[in-house]
Amino acid sequence: MTVAFAIVMLLAEIVIAGLPSREVSKGNESALAGQSDQAQYHYVKALEFGADTSIVMYNLGNVMYNSGEYDRAVKVYGAALDSSRSHDQLRNTFYNLGNSHLQAQKYDEAIASYIEALRHDPTDMDAKQNLELALKLRRESQNQQEKQDQNQQEKSDDQKQEQNNESQNNKQDDKQPQQDQDQAQQNEQQPADSNQSSPEPVPQQQMSKEEAEQLLNALLQDEQNTLEHVRKAKVAQRKKRVKDW
């Protein structure tokens, strides 16, 4: 991710007006030299000697910020705010507090801190630029989260569909053995044609001429009746079709 604006830190001051404490000066020198452990040690000693809490805690927060300890820096800046009195102190502390939140990707807290810094100094361009950066990063984070949620939902829907398909396939598999079993039972109940014995032919008796004529007349009469039934059925069917239209 490309950062549009540089985050400008307000560095610890070497000279602190009204604080002749030797430990504060040593803490500042160690901080500028990148010796965070030594700087923290001297700042703590300065507090023991009664140095101004707001300034010492502000400088101590800067040391923790530069060391990448953003959560601890937030706590220390908060302590500095409790004892800060001037607009300059409040502006600087809120500004660096916003930087700490921004580095920790806590965009809502960073935005609120930059707004407070601008409330104490509306002309602070660094605070304005970092506020715009925090707003931009928050939008990107929200869009990314929405995309992840959408992908997760689609993945969940696909898994549910696969489970439904698998369940349906299992039901079909369960039905098939039962169908095979029913078919087998039907086959067992039906006698095989190969096992059936052919009926013995019945000896035919000689038919007299009179009996043959009677049988022929009966067959002809039956055929005439059958043709008449077929003709009537066809007529009735045509009528029915016309009625349906």
Reported as a single tens digit per residue, the pLDDT across 128-167 is 999 999 999 999 999 999 988 888 888 877 777 777 777 7
Question: Would you mind telling me the total number of residues written for the chain in this entry?
Answer: 245
**How far, in Å, CA of 54 to CA of 35, rounded?**
21
Residue for token pair 């989260």? 145
**How far, in Å, CA of 130 to CA of 111, rounded?**
8
What confidence score (pLDDT) does residue 116 get? 96
Q: Is 50 exceeded by the pLDDT of residue 123?
A: yes
Q: Is 60 exceeded by the pLDDT of residue 237?
A: no
Supply 49's token pair.
């000697």
What confidence score (pLDDT) does residue 51 get? 85
Q: In this structure, are residues 10 and 95 in contact, taking their beta carbons and an 8 Å threshold?
A: yes
What confidence score (pLDDT) does residue 159 get? 79
Identify the band that residue 13 occupies on the pLDDT scale cut at 50, 70 and 90.
Answer: very low
25-80 pLDDT, tens digit each = 899 999 999 999 999 999 998 888 888 888 899 999 999 999 999 999 999 999 99
Identify the band that residue 213 occupies on the pLDDT scale cut at 50, 70 and 90.
Answer: low
Q: In this structure, are residues 59 and 38 in contact, taking their beta carbons and an 8 Å threshold?
A: no
What's the rounded mean pLDDT across residues 2-17?
Answer: 47
Helices (H), the chain: 22-32, 36-48, 53-66, 70-83, 87-103, 107-120, 125-189, 209-244
What confidence score (pLDDT) does residue 117 get? 95
What confidence score (pLDDT) does residue 162 get? 78
**How far, in Å, CA of 39 to CA of 57, rounded?**
12
Which SS3 state, helix, strand or coil, does residue 79 take? helix
Q: Is 60 exceeded by the pLDDT of residue 200?
A: no
